[in-house]
Structure 1
């Protein structure tokens, strides 16, 4: 089974878009929309403080009738943030995301943010692994 490092290496873009804790929720939404992402790690210097997602916005701004213009990200971010390390395997990530009902996992190495995995990244990798296994079995059956 592949590791987080393998999945990150295969991603088209390894750049992680982030937001600061004092930035407004509106700014976070603009960054998410501009970059077509559903969550942003919240960073203060080199420290990962939390993560803010579209889900956080829906539940902590819209449903509570708050303003995204004046509300800082730190007021709605999910913290403490659940993270994974590059050496962890795909299965462990999937179990963690399922148990905690997460859609995004920040990847840290030595306390430093190096990537962000989405549930879509994991599903794509599982499909690729299964397709590869099917291909190998078909070749075996044909005697190739």
Structure 2
């Protein structure tokens, strides 16, 4: 089973885009659209304080009739943040995401944000792992 560090290493874009809690939701949405991501870790003084996602926006801004321009990220972000370390395995991440109904999982190493895993990243990895196992079994059956 692969570790978080191994999964992060295979991601095409390893840069983690963040936003500050004082920024507006409009600014957060602009960054998410520009970077084509569904969530942003919220960082203040080099410390992870929350995560804000498109889902948070829909539920805590749009459905409550708030303005994207006047609403700070701090009012919308999910906190406290559930995180994982690079040494943790894929199964642990999947359990956390399933149990806590998360779609994004920040990766922290020594208190520093080093990556962000999405549910899509994990599903892609599980599919690749299962495909590899099927290939090995087929080779075994054929006697190769």
The answer on 1:117 being equivalent to 2:117 is: yes
Q: How many Å apart are 1:35 and its aligned residue?
A: 0.8
Q: How many Å apart are 1:37 and its aligned residue?
A: 0.5
The match for 1:85 is 85
The match for 2:66 is 66
SS in structure 1 of the partner of residue 107 of structure 2: strand
SS in structure 1 of the partner of residue 60 of structure 2: helix
The match for 2:37 is 37
**What TM-score comes out, normalization by structure 2 length?**
0.99
Unaligned runs of 5+ in 2: none
The match for 1:50 is 50
| Equivalent residue pairs, number | 144
Residues 60-106 of structure 1 show CA distances to partners (whole Å, capped at 9, x for unaligned) of 10010000101110011000010000011100100100000000000
Unaligned runs of 5+ in 1: none
1:102-113 → structure 2 map (5 Å cutoff):
102-113=102-113
SS in structure 1 of the partner of residue 128 of structure 2: helix
Q: How many Å apart are 1:45 and its aligned residue?
A: 2.2
Distance 1:140 1:45 in 2: 54
